Amino acid sequence: MIKQFTFNHYEVNCYVVADAATRQCAIVDPACEASFEDSQLLQYIDGEGLKVARVLLTHGHVDHIAGLRQVCGHFGLPVSMHGEGRKLLRQAEAYGAIMGFAVDNMDDLDVEELEDGQVLHVGDIEMECRFVPGHCPGSLCFVVPKDKVVITGDALFHYSIGRTDLPGGSYPLLVEKIRSRILTLPDDFRVLPGHGIESLVGKERKYNSFLQ
């Protein structure tokens, strides 16, 4: 089962991916900015009797990591992310000042580096890591075959793609990686993006004008 929250003034989608049988779960992009958002996330996890096994990042932009320090500290877990994104943790305070987030640098957090093609286990759920750079360095998508879902972060949106004008961005690379790493999934896989509404792989392949 997958629960979506929308947090902070950039309206980032945070996902809790849970295994109903074992009650283990992963938090993807803990973007909580305000204390009431922290409480909303924790109350859901407690209320459902879930045990957090992993804290995952699609990428390290500050709007997606606003609550990272609090979540990792609360559950005593490292952050699991692609190694190329670690630089963004060191730059969190600087980017936060520009984007209106009161955060400090997070380069002191414990990091588990993930690789393209690596399969994570959360209870009986498998989550495959797919490296989809182009929006920013170290961008990952997480494929959950059991739920027919791909969590795309800011790589792919409903009929759109992530911006590529920020440091480390590349429009040709992003389009190529979306085509080879996301659009190769079956049509009926749900696309759960980092912002906005969900879509389907088949709809994006057919109607997304950036990918034609």
Residue-by-residue pLDDT tens, the chain, 212 positions: 999 999 999 999 999 999 999 999 999 999 999 999 999 999 999 999 999 999 999 999 999 999 999 999 999 999 999 999 999 999 888 888 888 888 888 989 999 999 999 999 999 999 999 999 999 999 999 999 999 999 999 999 999 999 999 889 999 999 999 999 999 999 999 999 999 999 999 999 999 999 98
The strand pair at 51-56 and 24-28 is best described as parallel
Residue 74, Cβ density class (10 Å: 0-12 exposed, 13-18 middle, ≥19 buried): middle
Q: What is the pLDDT of residue 95?
A: 82
Q: Which CATH architecture has domain 2-211?
A: 4-Layer Sandwich (3.60)
Instruction: Count other Cβ atoms within 10 Å, centred on residue 191.
Output: 24
Q: What is the pLDDT of residue 175?
A: 97
Q: Could you give the 3-state DSSP secondary structure of residue 79?
A: strand
For residue 153, give both structure tokens: 């972060």
Q: What is the pLDDT of residue 28?
A: 98
For residue 112, give both structure tokens: 């588990």
Give the residue extent of every domain in the chain.
2-211
Q: What is the pLDDT of residue 6?
A: 98
Q: pTM for this one? A: 0.96
Q: What is the pLDDT of residue 93?
A: 87
Instruction: Count other Cβ atoms within 10 Å, centred on residue 2.
Output: 17
Provide CB contacts within 8 A for 118, sequence distance 6+.
128, 129
Residue 184, Cβ density class (10 Å: 0-12 exposed, 13-18 middle, ≥19 buried): exposed
Q: What is the pLDDT of residue 98?
A: 85
Q: What is the pLDDT of residue 107?
A: 87
Q: What is the pLDDT of residue 102?
A: 86
Question: How far, in Å, CA of 95 to CA of 171, rounded?
Answer: 21
Instruction: Tell me phi and psi for residue 193, to 5 degrees.
Output: -90, 170
